Amino acid sequence: MSEVIRQTLVWGDGPLKWQALVQVARHGATLMLSDSAWQRIAQSREIVGNIVAAGQVAYGINTGLGALCNITLSEDELSQLSRNTLLSHACGVGPVLAKPEVRTILCAAIANYSHGKSGVSVALVQHLLALLNLQITPQVPSQGSVGYLTHMAHIGLALIGIGEVEWQGEIMPAQQALAQAGLAPYRPGAKEGLSLVNGTPCMTGLACLALDDAERLLDWADVTGAMSFEALRGQLVAFDPEVLVLKASPGIQRSGERLRQLLSDSPLLKASVGIRTQDALSLRSMPQVHGACRDQFSHAVRQVETELNACTDNPLVLGTPQAWRVVSQSNPHGESVAMACDLLAIAMAELGSIAERRLDRLVNPLVSGLPPFLVAEPGVNSGMMIAQYVAASLCAENRQLAQPAVLDNYVTSGLQEDHLSLGTGSALKLLKLVSNVDHIIAIEYLLAAQALEFHGESQLAAGTRRAWQHLRQVVERWQQDRWLAPDIACAVAQIKAHRADALVG
């Protein structure tokens, strides 16, 4: 058997991009920190040690937490406080997160600690890296976070040998997995319990996965939209660059250019010039709608990467061991990421919505000019009729998921934390919404490919022909009714496994 060679990434000497988290979380890249990152971590830990030794009061280092911030603790209570913090905060509920989701949260936490402003020890970060690189994945309930706390608490439990993890394909007690991997349970010291549950790694890490999914779908929507446009004999003049440049949107220019690349050499569209004055909006407004979604994606990238490169602990440990400050502030408040996820959810819901309108036109004989529901013998065959129902259902669910989470607010910790971002919930619902869009675009892919069959391969543009052939590798053309669910699943798999750039040319 050939040995799998994994990419190794080194963080700590420059800005992080969201793609770096995806490489580790989804594709198994090994993560290391730079020497300068380790030096920063060690220096901040020295400051914490000095504070504890001097007995000076500093929130989160030698006090209680949240509404208990005015209770001062002795040095021998601080390790117990950190352990108790993990135990008391690990109260999430619901289905566990998928492995890449837990791993991306771990990545975002390590990125936060690499700044050397959290006051955690080198040993703690080494243990987190060991979990990540050895593929020991804590079992983390998906529900219960108002933006922070519960998800990271469950990850922290695995560090100290409590709870369950997934390792080598099995679910087992954390202590057993640590022992088999040659790791000892970690004993957290002063401030480390608070740092493990604090900050915004949950929403930031999950948002990076959502960006990965959204970027892929934005490109695929141009491809499946072009296929539908060609099958419905659209008027290509709507994508004229002289027209689109009159709206100074980078997203519009990008989608317009891709649609022209996919369709400009289509014999079918050349023969269809002038058959109607204008097309329905779901066809002719693709550059404007897809482009608006791309612009919101770019905005979300800026917000998420800002947070990814931020110090998001409370308190933050600043200065040097000789001249330090411990500052209690609100960098753990993830308002910008929550808003970005909510806005991107609206954009992706729109991407799915316009795709559903296009695919509906493909199966509707009143407007398609094609056989009803895209089968040669309608009546005895229902064809693609109910696939459109499924897409409509997913769009309806997306309208619910696109409701902003950041507008919700609840009071926690005895009035001490009385404004919350709900950013983790925003990121989780965005991931669910994007998964729905995967299926909507896959259904359009199936239907558009079937529609193009009725025109003949020789009539297709080079780009749409490549996309059609790509699908036909895994899904045969329909001639009579067969079990449709597996075909949808195959189309989804193709969209998830492949980027669309190679199809554009």
Q: Which of 59, 148, 186, 445 is catalytic?
A: 59
CA dist., res. 35 & res. 53, Å (int)? 27
Spatial CB neighbours of 478, under 8 Å, sequence gap ≥ 6:
374, 375, 383, 384, 450
Return the bridge partners of 164, or none.
173
410 is known as an active-site residue: no
Q: How far apart are CA 85 and CA 393, in angstroms?
A: 42
Three-state secondary structure string covering 48-79: HHHHHHHCCCCCCCCECCHHHCCCECCHHHHH
Separation in Å, CA 143 to CA 22, 92, 105: 22, 6, 14
| Angle formed at CA 137 by CA 133 and CA 139, multiple of 5 degrees | 165
Note whether 274 and 228 are within 8 A (CB).
no
* Cis status, amide bond into 315, omega within 30 of 0: yes
Cβ-based neighbours of 31, under 8 Å, separated by 6 or more: 8, 9, 11, 24, 107, 110, 129, 132, 133
Cite the active site residues.
59
